[in-house]
Structure 1
Amino acid sequence: MRRLPNLPLSTPKACLLALAFIAAGAAQASSPAAWSAHDKEVAAACVKASGLKDARPAGQPMAYDDGVGMTALLVAGRYPQPHMKNRAGRVLCLFDRKKREAVVTEADQITLAPVAATKTKK
């Protein structure tokens, strides 16, 4: 690990150096590897919270901005309750990035219709 030079923090050079180290740490936090690890954590937490048999992500995680602090993921599987007779189902999972907790709600009413093509006028 590199040591900072012994400069008083009141000097412009020291302030810029400290800022560079802080910015480098922030850049690493949002690296592709960090997002990949986050997506895996979200998928694992949401699959577990779903309570569905053979649960799996049914799409990609959708991260809201830091003001909201949540990532959403649709999870598909089969209902384990005997009265549901192994029927296919989906849950919408919200993963709280600060608390690292997942909560789900039934999402069978979500329909995945194709996106309509837009026509451009000439």
Structure 2
Amino acid sequence: MKAATLTFLCLTALASQAHASSPDAWAAYDKAVLTHCTKASGLKNARPVGNPAQFDDRVDYTALLLQGQYPQKHMKGQQGTELCLYNKKTKTAYVTEWDSVRPTAKSQ
């Protein structure tokens, strides 16, 4: 009888950990990604372009595009785009320039 009770308790504990995250938890996570990515960005007035891209948990990264203005004087406030990769485990943001990847508007 003790073995059956112990088995039941173990299975109950494992099943309770399989629940998906709540909408509030996702909103808090997205806010953390935005905060870390904006802080890591070199752009002035950096803001997100769309929503964060959630990768599979095996990758441990979330991607976020940011847009803002280059702060360097010689850039004269030119708009810029950066890609931020946020590491879920270490809670660290890594940013790289992403201007050359975005298509440019061609005049006809």
Which bracket does the TM-score occupy, shorter chain normalised? 0.7 to 0.9
Of 80, 88, 92, 2:79 maps to 88
Secondary structure of the corresponding residue to residue 19 of structure 2 = helix
Two-structure CA RMSD over aligned residues (Å): 2.0
- The superposition leaves residues 63-100 of structure 1 with CA deviations (integer Å, 9 ceiling, x where unpaired) of 11111100000011000011111100010000000000
CA shift, 1:112, in A, is 6.1
Superposition map of 1:41-56 within 5 A = 41-56=32-47
Secondary structure of the corresponding residue to residue 109 of structure 1 = coil
- The superposition leaves residues 41-65 of structure 1 with CA deviations (integer Å, 9 ceiling, x where unpaired) of 0011111111211111111011111
Higher RCO (C-alpha 8 Å, min separation 6) = 2
Secondary structure of the corresponding residue to residue 22 of structure 1 = helix
- The superposition leaves residues 87-116 of structure 1 with CA deviations (integer Å, 9 ceiling, x where unpaired) of 000100000000000000001123369xxx
Q: Distance in 2 between matches of 1:17 and 1:68?
A: 32
**Partner residue in 2 for 1:15:** 7
**Partner residue in 1 for 2:26:** 35
Q: Distance in 2 between matches of 1:112 and 1:32?
A: 33
Unaligned 5+ segments in structure 2 are: none
Give the ranges of 4+ consecutive aligned residues of structure 1 lying more than 3 Å apart after TM superposition. none
* TM-score (structure 1 length as normaliser): 0.75
Secondary structure of the corresponding residue to residue 62 of structure 2 = strand
**Partner residue in 2 for 1:76:** 67
Of 67, 85, 91, 1:100 maps to 91
CA shift, 1:36, in A, is 1.1
Unaligned 5+ segments in structure 1 are: 1-6, 114-122
